[in-house]
């Protein structure tokens, strides 16, 4: 929190305006104490004089020094502006949070009232209230306060509604916490930041509005004076002494801008979380890279001839700049996919499985960095960058994401979006492309594809949208489909249909599939081979039929045992992996899984095991691969077999 505020002050604009706001506030406090006498002394010998060494901005019709009057007026101007802001904020808070407190029906009435009030221009409201409350400082404060209340109420209402929909507010209500307490404890603290920022901006606005009202003669009345009043008096003699109007005018301008821009820069600084730091390749990177790619050579011998490979990845690394050195979510991943093969990638969130897929599909954006010893897709070197192989990537590699709603343009018809792929990458005419789109929708078993092609994404259900997404992938003739958690957002019955569909496309066209999932059972059912990822590395590479019973790595075995299926022994607890997953920012020494592993010894904690082949076509990165494990029946933790 304090760090984010520090970031605001670090920007040039934030620093300048922050200092200005402080200066104005300090001036408001000290100016009347120091210079009241000089501002109010009447000097009939020097009436309406121009700027001089004695009077920097000249004197007024009673011979008073305008420069000091402008300084002293800071207090009254600020007091009135802040008072108006406070009124606006308080009334706005009450009106804005009323819907939460009053319940649905009364709340709607309040909201409607606020909506109507928002429609009136602020200055018009201020003039209206100024007439009602009477001419004078009090009237003007009330007028400007009330005039700024509706927009603030609207803001509060929106923010409150956003937070009130969150589960923790529901949880508090279920816990029997009253509405007022929910508002004070849960809602207001969580919307405080944007409110403070907007109050600061609106203080600047009030300052200007006040100067306006006083200038029109509706605000402060003589003998009191604020900047607007001084401006009013000065404008009358603008041809005699322009400085008399310019001095207070400049004060209004500077103070108003200071508050407005400070608020803006705070909003910017707090709202956007940017990643700082620089990305530098360290010696460690350079040193470890050749060692690992050397281990990759024998992989080829195992996996068959290179021409058979659709995708060949050696020592893939993804890094992002972080505040404390680069973050490495993928740390040296090597694998290959053959024609028509289905490869599953499993791992916990943060294991780097999705980033591996994005790196392969050339979808890692700046400032992320992809390095690899080899990254070949159908023989083309993808390290040359996405532009070099746009056509190949566009037609031969298909990506299916978890949330198909965000992958489609909501304002365009489905058929057109699918056709676009063919127009761009295959050079088809619009008509041909449209026909192809309908054909592909039929291929992914979307019922009534002609009609569906004319519909918008929101008219599709989740499962249908995911089919359309796959349909978009097969608009070309892909040789690889990468599906990143394609069924996680779907119901089990729909999930099954989508998995069946992927299977069918694979069978028909000999398409290779990379299926990324956190669910071992899903991957085990669809795939031929499974990669298990942990902390940005592959810890085990095994045939899918070995998952249940044949897995060697303690992590793989725990993952399999952690998921209940229809045959799980009800007497036994589910397996539990104690501890926390490795964060991409952690520096890892030895085996990354060692801190959570029941088999780990000192060797594991110091030396990182390489991914090495063992029996049954399994490759595993573990010094204790396949050693027997038992299940602690109390905690569900896996333990060394003898300890049970």
Residues 349-408 that bind another protein (CB under 8 A): 349
Burial of 287 (0-12, 13-18, 19+ CB in 10 A): exposed
Residue 94 lies near another protein (rule: CB under 8 A): no
Beta strands (DSSP E) in 203-278 are none
Among 62, 177, 388, 588, binds another protein (CB under 8 A): 177
Question: Which of 36, 221, 432, 503 is in the footprint of another protein by CB under 8 A?
Answer: 503
Nearer to another protein, 158 or 349 (CB): 349
Whether 316 and 375 have beta carbons less than 8 Å apart is answered as yes
Q: Are 144 and 219 in contact, with CB atoms under 8 Å apart?
A: no
Nearest Cα to Cα of residue 362 among 320, 322, 390 = 390
The residues pairing with 320 across neighbouring beta strands, listed in sequence order, are: 327
Contact segment (CB under 8 A) with another protein among 63-71, 108-116, 216-224, 520-528 equals 520-528
Sorted by sequence, the CB contacts under 8 Å of residue 188 that are 6+ apart come out as 97
Choice between 256 and 592, CB closer to another protein:
592
Q: Is 568 in the site for another protein (CB under 8 A)?
A: yes
Angstrom distance (rounded) from CA 116 to CA 113: 5
- Is 96 strand, coil or helix? helix
Between 307 and 406, whose beta carbon lies closer to another protein?
406
Stretch that binds another protein, among 58-66, 297-305, 307-315, 568-576 (CB under 8 A): 568-576
Contact call for residue 343 and another protein (CB under 8 A): no
Buried b (16+ CB within 10 A) or exposed e, 13-45: ebeebbebbeebbebbeebbeebeeebeeeeee
3-state DSSP percent of the chain in helix, strand and coil, to 5: 55, 10, 30
Q: Does 549 bind another protein (CB under 8 A)?
A: yes
What are phi and psi for residue 525, nearest 5 degrees?
A: -80, -35
Cα separations (Å) of 91 from 77, 125, 156, 186? 21, 15, 11, 20
Judged by CB under 8 A, does residue 324 bind another protein? no
> Shortest CA distance to 480 belongs to which of 379, 353, 409, 347?
379
Q: Applying CB under 8 A, which of residues 33, 175, 286, 643 lies at the interface with another protein?
A: 175
**Distance of closest approach, residue 400 Cβ to another protein, in angstroms:** 18
Secondary structure class of 154 (helix, strand, coil): helix
Please, which residue, 282 or 349, has the CB nearer to another protein?
349
CA 431 – CA 155 distance, rounded (Å)? 48
454 binds another protein (CB under 8 A): no
Q: Does 131 bind another protein (CB under 8 A)?
A: no
Stretch that binds another protein, among 221-229, 326-334, 487-495, 615-623 (CB under 8 A): 487-495
Q: Does residue 576 touch another protein according to CB under 8 A?
A: yes
Under the criterion CB under 8 A, does residue 558 sit at the interface with another protein? Answer: yes
What's the CA angle centered on 406, arms 400 and 407, to 5 degrees? 40
Q: Which is nearer to another protein, 416 or 462 (CB)?
A: 462
Cβ-based nearer residue to another protein, 76 or 544 = 544
Place of tokens 């011979």: 63
Per CB under 8 A, the list member of 565, 601, 615, 627 interacting with another protein is 565
Q: According to the binding rule CB under 8 A, does residue 173 interact with another protein?
A: yes
* DSSP assigned state of 239: T
**What is the C-alpha to C-alpha distance for residues 317 and 332, in angstroms, rounded to an integer?**
5
Compute the radius of gyration of the chain from its Cα atoms. Answer: 34
Dihedral sign of CA atoms 437, 438, 439, 445 in order: positive
Q: C-beta of 641: minimal distance to another protein in Å?
A: 13
Contact predicate 358/345, CB 8 Å: no
Q: DSSP class of residue 277?
A: S
What does the angle CA 365 – CA 319 – CA 306 come to, to the nearest 5 degrees? 85
Question: Distance between CA atoms of 420 and 244, rounded to whole angstroms?
Answer: 66
What are the tokens at 109? 């009435």
Instruction: Please report whether residue 495 would count as binding another protein according to CB under 8 A.
Output: yes
Pick the stretch among 41-49, 275-283, 405-413, 553-561 that binds another protein (CB under 8 A). 553-561
Q: Could you give the dihedral angle defined by the CA atoms of residues 536, 540, 546 and 552, in that order, rounded to the nearest 10 degrees?
A: -130
Does position 562 bind another protein by CB under 8 A?
yes
CA gap 451, 439 in Å, rounded: 12
Q: Which helix (H) or strand (E) holds 191?
A: helix 188-215
Q: Candidates 448, 450, 491, 627: give the one binding another protein (CB under 8 A).
A: 491
CB 496, min distance to another protein, A: 4
- What DSSP element (H or E) covers 633? none
CB of 575 to another protein, least distance (A): 6
Structure tokens at 270: 């707090």
Q: Which is nearer to another protein, 455 or 521 (CB)?
A: 521
Q: Does 166 bind another protein (CB under 8 A)?
A: yes
Confirm or reject binding of residue 467 to another protein (CB under 8 A).
no
Given a contact cutoff of 8 angstroms between Cβ atoms, the answer to whether 279 and 319 are in contact is: yes
Which tokens in the block code for residue 284? 């460690």
Residues 186-215 that bind another protein (CB under 8 A): 186, 189-190
**Which residue of 299, 303, 509, 548 would you call a contact of another protein, by CB under 8 A?**
548
Residue from 228, 326, 457, 524 in contact with another protein (CB under 8 A): 524
Q: Is 642 in the site for another protein (CB under 8 A)?
A: no
Stretch in the footprint of another protein (CB under 8 A) among 215-223, 381-389, 566-574, 602-610 = 566-574
Q: Is residue 170 a contact residue for another protein (CB under 8 A)?
A: yes
Is 16 a binder of another protein (CB under 8 A)? no
The reply on whether position 492 binds another protein by CB under 8 A is yes
Q: Which stretch binds another protein (CB under 8 A): 62-70, 147-155, 523-531, 602-610?
A: 523-531
Binding window for another protein (CB under 8 A); candidates: 58-66, 107-115, 321-329, 491-499:
491-499
Binding residues among 594-623 for another protein as defined by CB under 8 A: none
Least distance in Å: CB of 416 to another protein? 28
CA 233 to chain centre: 52
Please report whether residue 348 would count as binding another protein according to CB under 8 A. yes
Q: Per CB under 8 A, does 470 bind another protein?
A: no
Which of 287, 570, 587, 643 is the binder for another protein (CB under 8 A)? 570
Q: Which residues pair with 449 in a beta bridge?
A: none
Q: Considering beta carbons, is residue 171 or 291 the nearer one to another protein?
A: 171
Using CB under 8 A as the binding rule, whether residue 519 contacts another protein is answered as yes
Binding site residues, another protein, CB under 8 A: 166-168, 170-177, 185-186, 189-190, 348-349, 462, 491-496, 503, 507, 518-522, 524-526, 528, 544-545, 548-549, 558-559, 561-568, 570, 573-577, 580-581, 635-636
């Amino acid at each position: 929190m304090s760090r984010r505020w520090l970031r605001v002050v670090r920007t040039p604009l934030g620093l300048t305006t922050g200092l200005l706001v402080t200066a104005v506030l300090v001036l408001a406090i000290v100016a009347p104490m120091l210079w009241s006498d000089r501002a109010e002394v009447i000097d009939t010998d020097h009436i309406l004089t121009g700027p001089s060494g004695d009077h920097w901005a000249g004197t007024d019709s009673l011979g008073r020094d305008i420069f000091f009057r402008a300084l002293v007026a800071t207090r009254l101007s600020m007091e009135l502006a802040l008072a108006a802001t406070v009124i606006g904020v308080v009334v706005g808070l009450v009106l804005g949070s009323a819907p939460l407190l009053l319940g649905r029906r009364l709340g709607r009435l309040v909201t409607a009232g606020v909506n109507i009030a928002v429609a009136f221009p602020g200055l018009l409201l201020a003039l209206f209230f100024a007439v009602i409350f009477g001419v004078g400082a009090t009237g003007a404060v009330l007028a400007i306060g009330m005039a700024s209340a509706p927009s603030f109420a609207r803001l509060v209402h929106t923010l409150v509604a956003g937070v009130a929909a969150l589960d923790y507010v529901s949880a508090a209500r279920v816990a029997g916490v009253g509405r007022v307490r929910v508002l004070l404890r849960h809602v207001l603290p969580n919307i405080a930041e944007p409110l403070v920022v907007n109050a600061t901006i609106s203080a600047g606005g009030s300052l200007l509005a006040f100067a306006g009202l006083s200038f029109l003669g509706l605000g402060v009345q003589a003998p009191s004076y604020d900047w607007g009043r001084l401006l009013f008096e000065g404008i009358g003699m603008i041809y005699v002494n322009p400085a008399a109007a310019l001095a207070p005018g400049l004060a209004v301008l500077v103070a108003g801008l200071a508050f407005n821009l400070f608020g803006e820069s705070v909003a910017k600084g707090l709202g956007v979380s940017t990643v700082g730091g620089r990305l530098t390749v360290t010696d460690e990177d350079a040193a470890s890279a050749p060692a690992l790619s050397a281990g990759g050579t024998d992989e080829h011998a195992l996996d068959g001839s290179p021409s058979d490979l659709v995708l060949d990845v050696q020592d893939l690394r993804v890094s992002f700049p972080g505040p404390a050195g680069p973050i490495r979510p993928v740390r040296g991943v090597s694998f290959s996919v053959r024609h028509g093969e289905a490869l599953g990638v499993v791992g916990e969130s943060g294991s780097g499985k999705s980033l591996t897929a994005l790196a392969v599909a050339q979808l890692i954006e700046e400032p992320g960095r992809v390095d690899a010893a080899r990254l070949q897709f159908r023989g083309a070197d993808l390290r040359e960058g996405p532009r070099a192989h746009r056509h190949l990537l566009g037609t031969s590699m298909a990506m299916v994401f978890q949330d198909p709603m965000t992958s489609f343009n909501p304002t365009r018809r489905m058929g057109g979006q699918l056709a676009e792929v063919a127009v761009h990458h295959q050079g088809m005419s619009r008509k041909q492309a449209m026909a192809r789109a309908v054909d592909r929708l039929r291929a992914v078993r979307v019922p009534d594809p002609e009609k569906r092609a004319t519909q918008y994404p929101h008219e599709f259900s989740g499962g249908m949208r995911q089919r359309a997404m796959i349909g978009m992938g097969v608009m070309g003739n892909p040789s690889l489909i990468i599906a990143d958690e394609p069924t996680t957002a779907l119901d089990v019955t729909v999930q099954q249909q989508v998995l069946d569909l992927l299977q069918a496309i694979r069978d028909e066209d000999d398409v290779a599939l990379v299926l990324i999932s956190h669910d071992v059972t899903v991957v085990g059912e669809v795939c031929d081979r499974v990669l298990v990822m942990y902390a940005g590395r592959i810890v085990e590479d095994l045939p899918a039929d070995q998952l249940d019973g044949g897995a060697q790595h303690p992590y793989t075995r725990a993952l399999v045992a952690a998921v209940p299926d229809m045959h799980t022994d009800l007497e036994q607890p589910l397996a539990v992996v104690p501890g926390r997953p490795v964060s991409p920012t952690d520096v890892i020494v030895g085996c990354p899984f060692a801190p959570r592993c029941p088999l780990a010894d000192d060797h594991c904690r110091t030396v990182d095991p390489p991914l090495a082949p063992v029996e049954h076509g399994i490759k595993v990165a573990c010094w204790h691969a396949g050693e027997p494990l038992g299940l602690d029946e109390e905690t569900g933790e896996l333990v060394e077999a003898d300890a049970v």
